[in-house]
A and B are shown apart, each in its own frame.
Chain A
Amino acid sequence: MAQASETRERDTFAKLLCEHALVRPGRPAMRHKDLGIWRTWNWSELTETIRAYAAGLQQLGLERGATIAVIGENRPAMYWTILAAQWLGAIPVPVYADAVADEMAYVLDHADVAFAAVQDQEQVDKLISVQDRVPKLRTVIYDEPRGLRDYDHSRLHAINDVIAKGRDRLAADPGVAATIDAARDNGQASDISIILYTSGTTGRSKGVLLTAGGSIAAARDTVAFDKLTDRDEVLAYLPLAWVGDHYLNYAQSLVAGFCIACPESRETAEADTQEIGPSFYFAPPRVFETLLTRITIRMEDAGALKRGMFNYFIGVAKRWGEKILDGKKVPIGARIGYAIGNLLVYAPLKNVLGFSRIRVAYTAGEAIGPDLFSFYRSLGLNLKQLYGQTEAFLYVTAQPDGQIRAGTVGPATPNVDIRIADDGEVLYRSPGQFAGYYKDAERTAETVTADGYVKTGDAGFFDPDGHLTIIDRAKDVGKLSSGALFAPKYIENKLKFFPNIKEAVAFGQDRDFATVMLNIDLTAVGNWAERKNIAYGSYQELAQRPEVYEMFTGHVAEVNRALAAEPRMAAAQIKRFLILHKELDADDGEMTRTQKVRRSFIAERYKPLIDALYNGTEAADISTEVTFEDGRKGVISARVRIADAKVAAPAKLGAAA
């Protein structure tokens, strides 16, 4: 029973904090770069500050069970507010700092906040502009005083003053100290420790309720999974209100006792990463892509010697790097070559990126291109993929060290239970699983099954080794007329990993076979055409060049081969494709502002082309109205060729490649 009693003592974040102050008082807990200098708080200083802050907040009237909004970037004062609120048993509600006033008003009102802790004048102004829509909000506390001097301070307080007052109270009256400590000890595992609002791509955002015990249990599992210790360090630059930051940085830091470093500002995050040298790192695929583009461009500008050396050793890394990282058997010659490469190229490159000390790095959020993924792994960066959700308190699956397959997101993390529903939807039960949506029993009931599994809304399948592959949002996964599975986004993503293909739109719902419309990437294909001496006068002309069609036929055939290798996907291979004469554009309504294709709109707008894809003709005429950047409208007409694609034979069990 010893273990049970131990967990009972450390079942809230405030109790964990005090534990660290006892066990590792001098270890760094938090850093912040301010006025050009990294300032560090160790666990004992941090605990003292949070205790004082809690005393100050209590004096302002923050009570157990009340909610407090936290609006700002990754600054110590914002994390302190979360901790101090949890100390008192109050519930922090982080809100995206870049949310417009209107969205913010909805969340603040829905979460019934009477308190808000904000970063600066910008956020205070937003709150003032919506105050009549958030009638319950009575007290606002702020971190940065700049510009706020002339504001009405009857309901506005500086966080520093709140902490100072709390400190005075604690020093002056032992009774206060006893009350504050009792407030912490009253905390239980079943307390709601935070409400995270999901960004709400569909409809109004929902407030996900997470419990202290569940959050800590989930974080304990992954801290053990990735062997994180109090020697680790992270740079907190992800949005505070996103589950990723709250889990990876906040929860894991308090469980493992490692240090959170807060960047100077959002723009300096990259330089700060380099200075701190984090050992645990998370970034969405987009960030890795941007970095790679920048490396490539810089290398092209470098001298011939450096460029030659870079290209040679990147070649070595491509061939052996991942195998060495995964601890596989590699010939001694390759090891020596890789070691030299590490000395000359990989280590300096990682140093420039601030990746030198990374032991574990994750990426998630969207599909990452296999080449991009392999590039970083081949340099020796232990980059892995995870799959998770706010409702799960992040992790559902994650790739264990040394068992990485680019297309999958790995097996279920410890203590997570996954089930695939009959329609392909992924369901799970996890230790950090949410307690429900705030004030929305109806949608909670829609999301959680009777036996306690949470529906992810994503469709996926397990490969024979138990690694999960996510194919698409479940509601977007369709069927061909034969009844075979048709996952448009899965096909589109595979196509878009080719640098020459900018956009892809797949069709096939209730049809006999799958087809795609493609957009060339003008930069990549334009460069290629230049090298091949292919002349072209316009985007439209380049897109319709037979050489381009030939190249794209090869790309499509390769995707078909990949699809054929997966038994459930083999039927949905691409039979015919075309290259669009114009770029899909949000101004024409063909894409959303977040650059996602609007499939049904496109199907309607390009109906003659869709018909041609399915009736076997070799070309079709199309004219479409377009909107130019200055708002004028015009018409583009074109004759678009339709090409047949090579279809690969589906893989048979036991057949070797």
Chain B
Amino acid sequence: MNAASETLLSVDGVSLSFGGVKAITDVSFDIRKGEIRAIIGPNGAGKTSMLNVVNGFYHPQHGRITYKGKTRPRMRPYQAASQGIARTFQNVALFRGMTTLDNIMVGRTLKMHRGLFWQMLRYGPAMREEIEHRRVVEDIIDFLQIESIRKTPVGKLPYGLQKRVELGRALAMEPELLLLDEPMAGMNIEEKEDMCRYILDLNKHFGTTIALIEHDMGVVMDLSDRVVVLEYGHKIADGTPEVVKADPKVIEAYLGVGH
């Protein structure tokens, strides 16, 4: 698969607890530039917490995160965003009353330079900037093939399409690292296949590094270059899909003891 071995992000000995509940215990792994990295595990294994740590939403009590060579005990969400980490959510988190176009445009906010005053005038440099951003957004709409819903309020869209719009908004940030939290949950087979295609195209043609949480094992095994398996906040396996699939500890975590 991707032979590029430069590490984009690494997580060292991270532990996270909420009061007495230990969500993550001493987990370390890395994400290499240009790969598709999956995080899997049974329900409550700490997958989403892990993404939230990477993205700076949760602050771990122990451990360090190294992103693009810079080590921090904690990240803040805006730092993560401005340094090229974008994400989608397990439950769709879009502005339901706004159109697809506007929702994706929101993803450009960090790239806009003119202040509120200029934006409101919609004139001169602000207009030129708006046109430039619109062009990027139109490229994303074209890439995700959602032309037909450009002007539709997202609240009216079926779930599968909403997920696609959410991916579009994350892409609008032109991320280096894209975190996808269950991008295919609740989708039918056709929507899943479409989504797989977009993820692969993204990775291949734009070189975007992707970390995803997913429950559909078929999808995970087909898409990802390497897989981390979590169980009760502990890392129990890490490696290529083939290696992970054959690991007795993983089989046990999924099927129970003495299956």
Contacts and interface: CB of A to CB of B under 8 A. Distances in A.
Q: Do A and B come together as binding partners?
A: yes
Interface of A: 34-37, 146-147, 149-150, 264-265, 267-268, 271
Contacts, number: 31
Nearest to A269: B148
Closest 5 CB pairs of A and B: A267-B148, A35-B138, A36-B138, A268-B148, A264-B147
Interface in B114-154: 134-135, 138-139, 141-143, 145, 147-148, 150-151
B147 A265 contact: yes
B148 A35 contact: no
28 contacts: A34-B142, A35-B138, A35-B139, A35-B141, A35-B142, A36-B134, A36-B138, A36-B141, A36-B147, A36-B150, A146-B143, A146-B201, A146-B205, A147-B201, A147-B205, A149-B204, A149-B205, A150-B204, A264-B147, A264-B148, A265-B145, A265-B147, A265-B148, A267-B147, A267-B148, A268-B148, A271-B148, A271-B151
A95 B150 CA distance: 30
Interface string B142-178: 1101011011000000000000000000000000000
Given A146-B205, A271-B148, 12 more contacts: A35-B135, A35-B138, A35-B139, A36-B134, A36-B138, A36-B141, A36-B150, A37-B138, A147-B201, A264-B147, A265-B145, A267-B147
Nearest to A144: B142
Q: How would you classify the secondary structure of chain B's contact residues: helix, strand, loop or mixed?
A: helix
Contacts of B151: 271
Interface of B: 134-135, 138-139, 141-143, 145, 147-148, 150-151, 201, 204-205
Nearest to B148: A267
Contacts of B205: 146-147, 149
Most buried by A among B138, B142, B143, B148: B148
Contacts of A37: 138
A271 B147 CA distance: 10
A35 B147 CA distance: 8
B199 to A, nearest CB: 13
A370 B55 CA distance: 62
A36 B148 CA distance: 10
A550 B181 CA distance: 59
Nearest to B138: A35
Contact of A268 (B143, B147, B204): B147
Contacts of A265: 145, 147-148
A37 B147 CA distance: 11
Nearest to B101: A36
Contacts of A35: 135, 138-139, 141-142
B155 to A, nearest CB: 17
Contacts of A146: 143, 201, 205
A265 B139 CA distance: 14
A34 B147 CA distance: 9
A36 B145 CA distance: 12
A265 B204 CA distance: 24
A142 to B, nearest CB: 16
B214 to A, nearest CB: 22
A307 to B, nearest CB: 22
Contacts of A271: 148, 151
